[in-house]
Structure 1
Amino acid sequence: MFALDPFTVLFTTTLTCAVLAAAMVSVHLSFRREVAGVGHWACGLAAMVGAGVLFLLRGKLPDALALPVANVCLTWGIGLSMIGTRRFFGEPGGWAIFHAAWTLELAAILYWLLVEPNFPHRAAAFSFIVSVFYLDQLRLVWRHRVAHFTSWFFGALLALQCLNTVSRGVAALFMEPDAANLLRSSALANVYLAIANFMALLITVAFLMLATRKLQQILEQRSTHDPLTGVLNRRGFLQFFGRVRARQQRSDSPLSLMAIDLDHFKAINDQYGHAQGDKVLMQVAAVIMRSARQCDVVARFGGEEFVVLMPDTTLAHAQQLAQRIQALLRDSLQAGTPSCTVSIGIAGQHLVSESLDSLLARADHALYRAKANGRNRTEIAGPAPLAA
């Protein structure tokens, strides 16, 4: 029978945990605002390193000191990973579960180590307590599941680790006393030792994969969205228009575009300051988003100008949407926010061959006409010339 050297496995795992902890710290320091929970995972890995060092020093330190502290550190490490996963998914930290678990683990190991020595009971207590942390993370993965490999990979590893941990607890209670003793060479101990240490490292890597994917999504959103109002920027709008244009060419459906500009916005900034001006922009963006349909897309093209692309929309329906925006803007003024109005120009794309630049230019010309005719009004652009 092939036997694993527990001390070699433990040394390798401890060293790898230290490297992963350093990687987690680097990610946390760089993206602490973007990705929550990574710092707790880093602290958990550091606690596991401390536990590994204490287990490696067993025999040089009294068991009455080394074993309780090492087991508590290991419980802290797994518990902090649970808290980190909770933070990552935007849920409360679960500190009550964490403190109850490590306190119960410390009481159990002290009792069955000093008062009534019983290794199987110590092993079972640890296994069942830490399995709660894995089960809670499994719950989080299932609740926030997405159809992506990283999510399923993380969940599968947690399930396997939980099953492995519970199996050791059951073996400690109902099989021979040495079955769950990792320092003794047995088939069950070898299987548990291999799976537990390998899974602990893989679970950490899987969480890093989740964090990396979330960070990638955040960076992609930042590249396509306006940071102040949350609507699309010009780059995001161009990407969306490309998809709409391809669909329109297949179905020959109508398409309308609305150019919106705040009236006298420079006067608002000069009189109330740029902070109030930003609030006005956010309020206008919120009103436009609330008025638009789910299939419409809203973008900010810089300054105080917004653009709304409306697939499968005629000019008549686009004009109704413009009137609704202006009415909502009058009725939804927040206390302390300067009042404002908007001028709107609308252009309809009747020729599939017309370029986006031509469509935007016609909507802008209608917008300028609305400004010239007294502001706070809507104008419709004329049809595109055949040359467009």
Structure 2
Amino acid sequence: MLVFSWSYYHRYNLLLALEKSSQTDPLTGVANRRYFDSKLKSEASRSARSSSDCALILLDIDHFKRINDTFGHPTGDRVICALADLCVNQSREIDLVARLGGEEFAVILPDTNITDAKNLAERIRKHVEDISVTGDAGEIVKWTISLGVSSLPESRSSRYTTEIVMEMFIKKADNALYEAKKKGRNQTVLSQ
């Protein structure tokens, strides 16, 4: 019985570790794109059922290629990790911070209206201005971010599938992010 119990416990821990690794970005420890997509779908469904608010922030590091080219990829990785840590520390426990790829991140904000989401986005942006990382040669590296904020589409009628609503949700935030970059970077733009 003892051997069986130990074997079961060991298998259970391995399954937990496997599940966590399939949902987590290995560099930053935040959620990965696969888990983000799954969580966004469930939040969009939950929000539609309960008629509650849900907001999304998309953000990325301005001129990230320049950071990598100037200071090297290990320094770029430290910048990415610092941003992930900052987003987690500024967000609530119910929010989901995810690394979508490269230097792009997202924050899903359940039960949050667009005004409160913008306030969080601005708080993150301003904190980024105040932090830095140290490069391999000891130099201080500072950077900025651009952010796009959206809320679930008003039109959540049954004619839209959850996938279409998710697509609209992401597209609105993505358009706002690109507008922030077009306007000069280091700013937050709300979706129209």
What TM-score do you get using the length of structure 1 for normalisation?
A: 0.45
Aligned pairs (5 A) from 1:256-271: 256-271=55-70
Equivalent in the alignment of 1:344: 147
User: Over residues 65-119 of structure 1, what are the superposed CA-to-partner deviations in whole Å (9 max), with x where a residue is unaligned?
Assistant: xxxxxxxxxxxxxxxxxxxxxxxxxxxxxxxxxxxxxxxxxxxxxxxxxxxxxxx
Deviation at 1:335, TM superposition (A): 4.4
Cα drift, residue 334 of structure 1: 3.9
- Deviation per CA, 1:329-388, whole angstroms, max 9, x where unpaired? 222324445211100001111232452112111111111110011100000111xxxxxx
How far apart, in 2, do the equivalents of 1:360 and 1:206 lie? Answer: 46
Greater Cα radius of gyration, structure 1 or 2: 1
Q: Distance in 2 between matches of 1:205 and 1:250?
A: 43
Please report how far the alpha carbon of residue 245 of structure 1 lies from its aligned counterpart in structure 2 after TM superposition: 2.2
Kept in 1: contact 2:146–2:185 (CA 8 A):
yes
In the alignment, the residues of structure 2 paired with residue 282 and residue 270 of structure 1 have an alpha-carbon distance, to the nearest angstrom, of: 18
Question: Which structure carries more helix by proportion?
Answer: 1
Which of 365, 368, 372 is the aligned partner of 2:175? 365
Answer whether contact 2:78 2:133 (CA < 8 A) is retained. no
Q: What do the CA deviations read for 1:146-194 (whole angstroms, capped 9, x no partner)? A: xxxxxxxxxxxxxxxxxxxxxxxxxxxxxxxxxxxxxxxxxxxxxxxxx
Offset, 1:246: 2.7
Partner residue in 1 for 2:93? 294
- Between 334-343 and 269-278, the greater mean CA deviation after superposition: 334-343
Distance of 1:230 and 1:351 partners within structure 2:
35
Partner of 1:214: 13
- Using the alignment, how far apart are the partners of 1:348 and 1:239 within structure 2? 17
Deviations 1:190-221 (A, max 9, x none): xxxxxxxxxxxx21231121111111111111
Corresponding residue of 1:230: 29
Whether 2:54 is the aligned partner of 1:276: answer: no
Deviation sequence 1:38-78 (CA, Å, 0-9, x none): xxxxxxxxxxxxxxxxxxxxxxxxxxxxxxxxxxxxxxxxx
| 1:39-54 aligned within 5 A | none
TM-score (norm 2): 0.89
Matched, 1:323 2:122: yes
Measured on the aligned residues, the alpha-carbon RMSD in Å equals 1.4
Q: Equivalents in 2 of 1:267, 1:313: separation in Å?
A: 34
CA contact (8 A) 2:145 2:185 kept: yes
Point out which structure has higher relative CO (alpha carbons under 8 A, 6+ apart): 2
**CA–CA distance in structure 2, aligned partners of residues 368 and 318 of structure 1:** 17
| Unaligned segments of structure 1, at least 5 residues | 1-201, 383-388
Give, in angstroms, the shift of residue 312 of structure 1: 1.1
Task: Give me the identity figure in percent.
Answer: 38
Q: What is the correspondence of 1:92-131 to structure 2 with a 5 Å cutoff?
A: none
Q: Which has the higher strand share?
A: 2
**Residues matched between the structures, number:** 181
Question: Which segments of 5 or more consecutive residues in structure 2 lack a partner in the other structure?
Answer: none
The one-letter amino acid of 1:309's match is I
1:245 has 2:48 as partner: no
TM-aligned CA deviation for residue 290 of structure 1: 0.6
Write the letter of the residue equivalent to 1:222. Answer: S
Give distance in 2, aligned partners of 1:251 and 1:279.
40
TM superposition shift of 1:321: 0.1
